Chains A and B, each alone.
Chain A
Amino acid sequence: GEDVEQSLFLSVREGDSSVINCTYTDSSSTYLYWYKQEPGAGLQLLTYIFSNMDMKQDQRLTVLLNKKDKHLSLRIADTQTGDSAIYFCARGPTFGRGTSLIVHP
C-alpha cells in the first residue's frame, strides 16, 4: 500500500473551515508537509511541521500532527474560492495522491 494516504475530494462552502486529513505509515522522516497545486501550476509549499511538534499555526492554516495515530491534518479557516486546488500531504519525499478541495459560494 501507499505510504501516504489522503481522501480524494472535499467540498466546502465559502467561509466555512476545511479540514484535509492524511495518514502515513513510516515514521522515519523528520518533516511532514502540505503543498497546494492549482491547475496547470507547480506545487506551492504551504507549511511544514517537524515530527517533534504537535501543532503549527500560520495565519489561516493550522496543522495538527498525531504521532501515535500517524495522522496529519490541515485546517483552513474561513475558506475562500481562491483556496480551491489540490492539496498534497508529504512525508519527506513521499507524496499522497492529493485531495481536491472545491469551495462553493
Chain B
Amino acid sequence: DAGVTQSPTHLIKTRGQQVTLRCSPKSGHDTVSWYQQALGQGPQFIFQYYEEEERQRGNFPDRFSGHQFPNYSSELNVNALLLGDSALYLCASSSVLGGFSGYTFGSGTRLTVV
C-alpha cells in the first residue's frame, strides 16, 4: 500500500519562474494539505484541500495556489518565485470520510530558487 507520493523530489528554478508540485495521497485518504519547511524550521501550513476545494489556508500570499483532482491527488503552484521560496515542500494526506487516523506525510519536494 503506497503512502503519500510527491514529485519531483528535487527541483531548481530561476527567480520569477513558476513551479508545479504534485502529490498523490495515501490510498483511502481524501484530504490533502501542503506545508513549506525552510531549513531548521517547522513545517508552515500553506493550505488544505478536500472535495476539490480549498478548505483552510495559512498565511501565504496568493502566489501560492493549489488544486485537487477527482482522484484526490493535488498540485501546488507557486508563481513569480522568490529566493525565499526555497524550501522543502511537504504534502500530507488524511481521511475525513474514512474517519480520522492522523496525517501521513510524503518525503517532500526540495525546491531551490536561484
- Listed in ascending order, the chain A residues whose CB lies under 8 Å from chain B are 4, 31, 33, 35, 41-45, 48, 88, 93-98
Give the docked Cα–Cα distance between A41 and B9 (Å): 11
Chain A residues, Cβ within 8 Å of B108:
42
Give the docked Cα–Cα distance between A43 and B4 (Å): 11
**Given A42-B90, A42-B108, A43-B90, A95 contacting B103 (CB threshold 8 A):** no
Please, what's the 1-or-0 string for B57-88, where 1 marks a CB less than 8 Å from any CB in chain A?
A: 01000000000000000000000000000000
- Listed in ascending order, the chain B residues whose CB lies under 8 Å from chain A are 4, 33, 35, 40-45, 48, 56, 58, 90, 92, 100, 102-108
Offer 14 A-B interface pairs, CB within 8 angstroms, sorted by A.
A4-B42, A33-B103, A35-B105, A42-B4, A42-B90, A42-B107, A43-B43, A43-B92, A88-B43, A93-B48, A94-B45, A95-B43, A95-B45, A97-B42
**Given A41-B107, A93-B33, A96-B42, A48 contacting B48 (CB threshold 8 A):** no
Taking the nearest CB of chain A, how far is it from the CB of B35, in angstroms? 8
Chain A residues, Cβ within 8 Å of B58:
93
Give the total number of A-B pairs whose CB atoms are below 8 A apart. Answer: 41
Taking the nearest CB of chain A, how far is it from the CB of B64, in angstroms? 15
